[in-house]
């Protein structure tokens, strides 16, 4: 069983006979799916002494591993997207004695950076094989990557339809597609999911239908939705008429990975995909590309507003909301609402508070 940070695309682990466990996926999706959330595990790791203001994406699985809910043979993580990640992972080696492989992810987006990261990916995967006593089967990995190439194509098609007014996709697509990218990437089930979503979306598009009621407001969430309670997505569709066109886990599009040339070319493209991965690109790059992307997306998708959810843990992004608010007003003439929260912990900003803030904000727009 291999634990991995979501910043490491899961399909790359298909070169081994292993069960990949996404540490952040476990935390956030159990927070979303379990009736009483996973606050218990945040408290376990908090009581152990880990700082409360780090990311609940890691704190959940840290607490669960202290409670011996799962045991891992090794963990692999890039040095991204944030300090919170880099400072949290050594816990697993210090306390649980899991071997930890760290893949050094550079800041520089360009040929030099991609070459360096490609080398890092290859070396790290080989090192992982030594720890678990297996030789890497890069042909098997290639098959999984080819499946994800198909998914990328379908996702691009889907996003063209989301530009339509009303948007033909439901808000719940956002957390669910984040889940499929994390838990079933590289599998034929992920292709099936996107094909089915595309079919549903095309039907609605052709009939100019919206899901759940009238679309009154089109919003973009450039960071995250509330994983501690994803019913907010449904409430926004049905009660407020607010579409979440997409959130951070959906608007990153990568070029297909070249699997037909040699292994070095494949790793180079894998590095490009890895460095352009959701949250990685935004959090490791400088602010200008993020601001430019937001302005372009606001125009391309006819957004009426942005909803910026500022997580307690994402300190690298703490100075961003004000800049983004100004640039969206200056360049596109649309407002932005900022809500401070903890993505996985319902106790910081409750669902009730979210609904109140969003309802008040919507009144200023209609």
- Angle (CA) 278-280-285 rounded to 5° is 120
- Taking alpha carbons only, the member of 19, 2, 40, 16 closest to residue 346 is 40
Residue 100 C-beta: closest distance to ligand SF4, Å = 16
- Angle (CA) 59-65-71 rounded to 5° is 140
Q: Are 306 and 294 in contact (CB under 8 A)?
A: yes
**Cα distance between residue 67 and residue 88, in whole Å:** 17
Q: Are 219 and 242 in contact (CB under 8 A)?
A: yes
Q: Which is nearer to ligand SF4, 154 or 339 (CB)?
A: 339
**Cα distance between residue 98 and residue 118, in whole Å:** 25
Residue 259 C-beta: closest distance to ligand SF4, Å = 29
Residue 86 C-beta: closest distance to ligand SF4, Å = 9
- Angle (CA) 147-81-48 rounded to 5° is 115
**Cα distance between residue 326 and residue 329, in whole Å:** 5
Interface positions with ligand SF4 (CB under 6 A): 55, 57, 81-82, 84-85, 279, 283, 311, 313-314, 343
Residue 78 C-beta: closest distance to ligand SF4, Å = 11
Q: Which is nearer to ligand SF4, 205 or 341 (CB)?
A: 341
Q: Which is nearer to ligand SF4, 55 or 100 (CB)?
A: 55
- Six-digit token pair at 201? 């979306």
Q: Are 331 and 208 in contact (CB under 8 A)?
A: no
Burial of 90 (0-12, 13-18, 19+ CB in 10 A): exposed
Residue 339 C-beta: closest distance to ligand SF4, Å = 14
37: left (phi over 0), alpha (psi -120 to 50) or beta: left
Q: Which is nearer to ligand SF4, 124 or 283 (CB)?
A: 283
> What are the two backbone dihedrals, phi and then psi, of residue 340, each rounded to the nearest 5 degrees?
-75, 140
Residue 286 C-beta: closest distance to ligand SF4, Å = 15
Q: Which is nearer to ligand SF4, 145 or 230 (CB)?
A: 230
Neighbours of 236 (CB within 10 A): 25
Q: Which is nearer to ligand SF4, 148 or 342 (CB)?
A: 342
DSSP conformational letter for 317: G
- Six-digit token pair at 312? 């307690």
Q: Which is nearer to ligand SF4, 78 or 168 (CB)?
A: 78
Residue 88 C-beta: closest distance to ligand SF4, Å = 9
DSSP conformational letter for 348: T
Q: Which is nearer to ligand SF4, 9 or 241 (CB)?
A: 9
Q: Which is nearer to ligand SF4, 74 or 82 (CB)?
A: 82
Residue 279 C-beta: closest distance to ligand SF4, Å = 5
Residue 140 C-beta: closest distance to ligand SF4, Å = 28
């Amino acid at each position: 069983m291999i634990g991995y940070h979501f910043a490491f695309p899961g399909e790359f682990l298909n070169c081994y006979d292993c069960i990949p466990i996404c540490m952040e996926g476990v935390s956030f999706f159990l927070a979303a799916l379990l009736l009483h959330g996973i606050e218990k595990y945040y408290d376990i790791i908090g009581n152990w002494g880990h700082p409360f203001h780090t990311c609940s994406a890691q704190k959940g699985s840290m607490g669960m591993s202290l409670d011996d809910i799962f045991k891992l043979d090794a963990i692999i993580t890039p040095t991204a997207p944030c300090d919170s990640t880099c400072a949290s992972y050594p816990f697993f080696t210090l306390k649980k004695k899991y071997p930890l492989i760290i893949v050094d992810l550079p800041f520089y987006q360009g040929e030099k950076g991609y070459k360096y990261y490609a080398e890092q990916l290859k070396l790290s995967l080989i090192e992982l094989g030594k720890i678990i006593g297996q030789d890497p089967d890069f042909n098997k990995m290639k098959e999984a990557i080819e499946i994800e190439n198909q998914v990328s194509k379908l996702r691009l098609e889907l996003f063209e339809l989301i530009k339509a007014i009303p948007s033909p996709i439901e808000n719940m697509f956002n957390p669910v597609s984040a889940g499929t990218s994390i838990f079933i990437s590289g599998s034929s089930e992920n292709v099936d999911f996107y094909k089915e979503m595309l079919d549903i979306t095309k039907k609605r598009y052709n009939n100019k239908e919206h899901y759940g009621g009238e679309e009154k407001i089109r919003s973009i969430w450039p960071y995250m939705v509330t994983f501690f309670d994803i019913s907010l997505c449904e409430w926004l569709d049905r009660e407020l008429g607010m579409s979440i066109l997409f959130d951070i886990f959906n608007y990153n599009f990568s070029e297909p990975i070249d699997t037909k040339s040699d292994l070095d070319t494949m790793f180079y493209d894998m590095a490009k995909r890895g460095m352009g991965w959701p949250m990685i690109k935004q959090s490791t790059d400088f602010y200008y590309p993020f601001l430019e992307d937001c302005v372009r997306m606001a125009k391309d998708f006819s957004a009426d507003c942005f909803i910026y959810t500022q997580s307690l843990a994402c300190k690298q992004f703490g100075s961003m909301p004000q800049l983004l608010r100004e640039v969206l007003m200056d360049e596109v003439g649309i407002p932005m609402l900022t809500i401070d929260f903890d993505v996985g912990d319902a106790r910081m900003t409750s669902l009730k508070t979210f609904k109140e803030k969003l309802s008040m904000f919507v009144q200023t727009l209609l």
